[in-house]
Structure 1
Amino acid sequence: MSDDSQAMTEWLTAVSLELGLEGQVDSDKSVDAVLDLTSEVAHGVSRPAAPVTAFLIGVAAGRADDPQVAAADYAQKIAALAAGWGADTERGVASNDQSQRG
């Protein structure tokens, strides 16, 4: 395990304990999902939007009946939104035109 990976594992364990989330989050799966999502947002939208987006997904998921399922679903939806952000007419509907979404 690299020093960065070890440091992240220790940090996430400490944060989970501090927030009373121990045993409620699959850290490996969650870390991968958050890193993938924030990468997509940072590259497709803007770098500063990435952590704020992750925060918003966490807030929304925390309000759901099953936060783990909701977080995964929201992350997938928002990653797709970020991937198409600023798309031109080839996509048919610009990603930021919410009135055209189904």
Structure 2
Amino acid sequence: MSTMSEWIEAVCAELDLNLADQRATTTVVLDLTADVAHGVARPAAPVTAFLVGLAAGRAAERGAEPDAEVATLSARLSALAKTWEPPGGRSE
């Protein structure tokens, strides 16, 4: 087992979370953060992942499956990040 897998298991235990498929969820989040880091800005990547987690938690309160919600939200935001042009253009 990799250090990352062990870390994720420890975090899930600490936060009382149960991922249906740790590997799939990890891949989705890593892909999302890569798309945001490259298409928007590096600091936006962890913040985006945090916001996806908040939104997935809110959806779970309404009965949605959290892992599926993370995948759906991540796909939407990855698509947005890949085409992102901020209002007024990029300021590099």
Fold conserved between structures, TM > 0.5: yes
- From 57, 60, 79, give the equivalent of 2:55: 60
CA–CA separation in structure 2 for the residues paired with 1:77 and 1:32: 15
Q: Tell me the residue number matched to 1:36.
A: 31
Per chain length, whose mean CA-contact separation is higher, i.e. which structure has more relative contact order (CA < 8 Å, sep 6+)? 2
Q: CA separation in 2, counterparts of 1:25 and 1:43?
A: 28
Amino acid at match of 1:37: L
* Percent of pairs with identical residues: 51
Deviation of 1:17 (Å):
0.5
Q: 2:12 aligns with which of 13, 16, 21?
A: 16
Give the RMSD, CA atoms, in angstroms: 1.5
The one-letter amino acid paired with 1:51 is P
Structure 2 residues not aligned, in runs of 5+: 88-92
Equivalent-residue separation in structure 2 for 1:71 and 1:31 (angstroms): 10
How many residues are matched? Answer: 83
1:26 deviation in Å? Answer: 1.3
Q: Identify the residue that residue 79 of structure 1 maps to in structure 2.
A: 78
Q: Which amino acid aligns with 1:11?
A: W
Q: TM-score, normalised by structure 2?
A: 0.83
Q: Which runs of 4+ in 1 moved over 2 A?
A: none
CA-to-aligned-CA distance 1:33-64 (integer Å, 9 cap, x gap) = 01100000000000000000000000001011
3-state SS in 2 of match to 1:63: helix
